[in-house]
Amino acid sequence: MSTDYNADQIQILTGLEGVRRRPGMYIGSISARGLHHLVYEIVDNSVDEALAGFCREIDVTICQDNSVVVVDDGRGIPVDIQKKAGISALEVVFTILHAGGKFGGGGYKVSGGLHGVGSSVVNALSEKLEVEVRRSGKIYEAKFSRGKVTQHVKVIGECNPAEHGTRVHFLPDSTIFEETVIDFDTLKVRLRETAFLTKNLKIVLKDERQGQEREETFHYEGGIQEFVTYLNRGKTPLYDQVIYCEGVKDNVLVEAAMQHNDTYNENIFSFVNNINTPEGGTHLTGFKNAVTKTFNDYARTNKLLKDSEENLSGEDIREGMTAIISVKVQDPQFEGQTKQKLGNTEVIGAVSSVVSEQLTYFLEQNPTAARAILEKSILAQRARAAARKARDITRRKSALDSTALPGKLADCSSKNPDECEIFIVEGDSAGGSAKEARSRATQAILPLRGKILNVEKARMDHVYENAEIKSMITAFGTGIHEDFDISKLRYNKIIIMTDADVDGAHIATLMLTFIYRFMPELIKQGHVYLAQPPLYKLEKNQKIWYAYSDEELNNILKDVGRDQNNKIQRYKGLGEMDAEQLWETTMDPDRRILLRVNMDDDALSELDVTFTTLMGDQVEPRREFIEQNAKYVTNLDV
């Protein structure tokens, strides 16, 4: 790896005007998501310095005015005049689009993901940005506003020659962003992930805003091994160790960590140069190949599989597996529509050779763990065969029989999915009101009885036998898992409608968990919604108001006056509303509130844990989740 990194290496491409004109092109959006991306863009530069071996700590501070300070103890951005541009390298970094070592090769760069666009973009989108560099006994400073230099680099003091580092303080431009409040928890999830992926790097996140002062430190000596332990928290591991493989092959640095738990789900997260790759790619392929082959080899050698028996499938072996696969690649090629899939072919062999060798060694050294995994895999193989049989029957039925739709479904008359929606309703009685209330042409109703099966805790074959789940699968039309086909979706909106209480939230989450595990694409593509029935009805002088929160009720009461003419009803469930009320408040597309369910790519591992925590046995995290449920959905006026 070349560490001879100087001003000349920083290449110049183009100017910043366009960034301010079309910010979405560079940071994805100008919503909260884009706002937080600014922070990651800056922090990633320091992480690059850590990966190069020169930075041990990064401090990120949210200030009173929602500006952010990022400080590292790296070598410091070079300040010398760059020949090509005739200005200081530091100014090049912050004022010229696509500057920064990223395109120059040499070292593994964090940046380069979907929106890995660099510090000049952050500068263009900041009302003010100030940089301080400590190098060779001097303190340098430069200032910018909306991409333009307001103070050229100058020496503002001296420091101990042993000191070195970079400090960037920026205030996102409030004339550009729709949201300017930085969310501590959002940064926390991402920075924790970064710390897990960069062994030994210490990241400190501070909030200095009045009334919400706090500080958290992320520092993991175990790296991705600790990441796996973290992801498996609240679950029961099948064995104590976290299996860890590490090595360099063909210039690819490979790290993999895994541990099985007693659930039936596979949770594998893959990263290239610390960038999350939700669509996987060659590193994931190499990992899966190695795992499948190594376990089958071990099973044969140790007579856990008979000669007459079929090989275990990859899916069987990965049942209940939590894993992180992280590679560092010199020149990563990202493919696919969203450029989130690693394409470098040499990575398949590199990963599979490192993983095969070290996993084989682990299994030989730890026969108890090996046996536990293989016993689970063999059970999975049997369950999968039973499930396949059940599914084939369902499939045949629906292929032959056009009336295979579930009996309880009151379908809409339109066959154009774009205008159709389906309400999944808790309970037969609410289902009855909903059927009466609906707009028959475009709204279908599927009532479900009581609590649906918790798919987190059920084995595949039982899932297929569950009537409520079968109804949903047939009604949606898309099929599941490998059979999933979004073009067969029969409704553009899938709306979960449950009571506005804790039980209702629990049922909604069971349904979301099912959709997340069996047809995640429906959530990713934004087809899944939560209906929002009102909490209160206020009647006064023959007029009616509905309130969806305590705050809203208070506001209405402030307007109409608090007196004895107020008749306030607190709805305990959908069943307390008649058909007309249900229509007005919850179903009418012109008046209702819908929440769209999100899957945030920036926090994939966290989302998964959230569902799992909720569905597991622990009651406290569940309550907490339900209370914070609003975080995972966005307000949408439809």
The secondary structure of residue 482, as a DSSP letter, is: G
> Strand, coil or helix: what is 454?
coil
Nearer residue to ligand TTJ within complex by CB, 75 or 537: 75
Among 23, 37, 47, 74, interactor with ligand TTJ by CB under 6 A: 74
Residue 107 contacts ligand TTJ per CB under 6 A: no
The active-site residue out of 503, 552, 576, 584 is: 503
Residue 482 corresponds to which tokens in the numbers above?
A: 């490998």
Q: Give the CA count within 13 Å in the CB-facing half-sphere of 11.
A: 7
DSSP conformation letters of 521-549: HHHHTT-EEEE---SEEEEETTEEEEESS
Residue 239 contacts ligand TTJ per CB under 6 A: no
How far is Cα 336 from Cα 338, in angstroms, rounded to an integer? 6
Among 36, 75, 438, 517, interactor with ligand TTJ by CB under 6 A: 75
Residue 112 contacts ligand TTJ per CB under 6 A: no
Among 49, 315, 316, 606, interactor with ligand TTJ by CB under 6 A: 49
Residue 51 contacts ligand TTJ per CB under 6 A: no
Q: Are 395 and 270 in contact (CB under 8 A)?
A: no
| Count of residues interacting with ligand TTJ (CB under 6 A) | 16
> Strand, coil or helix: what is 352?
helix
Residue 419 corresponds to which tokens in the numbers above?
A: 């205008």
Judge whether 297 counts as a catalytic residue: no
Nearer residue to ligand TTJ within complex by CB, 156 or 630: 156
Taking contact as CB under 6 A, which single stretch among the options 42-50, 178-186, 201-209, 395-403 is the one that binds ligand TTJ? 42-50
- To which residue do tokens 């992480």 refer? 47
Judge whether 559 counts as a catalytic residue: no
Q: Are 197 and 51 in contact (CB under 8 A)?
A: no
Nearer residue to ligand TTJ within complex by CB, 166 or 186: 166
What is the nearest approach in angstroms of ligand TTJ to the Cβ of residue 58?
A: 8
Judge whether 8 counts as a catalytic residue: no
Nearer residue to ligand TTJ within complex by CB, 51 or 348: 51
Nearest to 264 by CA among 322, 309, 224, 323: 322
What is the nearest approach in angstroms of ligand TTJ to the Cβ of residue 66?
A: 18
Nearer residue to ligand TTJ within complex by CB, 273 or 474: 273
Site string (150-189) toward ligand TTJ, x via CB under 6 A:
----------------x-x---------------------
Among 38, 42, 224, 519, interactor with ligand TTJ by CB under 6 A: 42
Residue 78 contacts ligand TTJ per CB under 6 A: yes
HEC profile for 583-631?
Answer: HHHHHCCCCCCEEEECCCHHHHHHHHHHHHHHHCCCHHHHHHHHHHHHH
Judge whether 418 counts as a catalytic residue: no
Nearer residue to ligand TTJ within complex by CB, 101 or 281: 101
Strand partners, 431: none
Residue 381 corresponds to which tokens in the numbers above?
A: 């193989």
Q: Are 70 and 58 in contact (CB under 8 A)?
A: yes
Nearer residue to ligand TTJ within complex by CB, 111 or 610: 111
Sheet of strand 443-448, all strands in order from the earlier edge strand to the far edge: 443-448, 421-426, 493-497, 528-531, 594-597, 633-636
> Strand, coil or helix: what is 302?
coil
List residues with catalytic annotation.
Answer: 426, 499, 501, 503
> What is the binding site for ligand TTJ (CB under 6 A)?
5, 42, 45-46, 49, 70, 72, 74-78, 93, 119, 166, 168
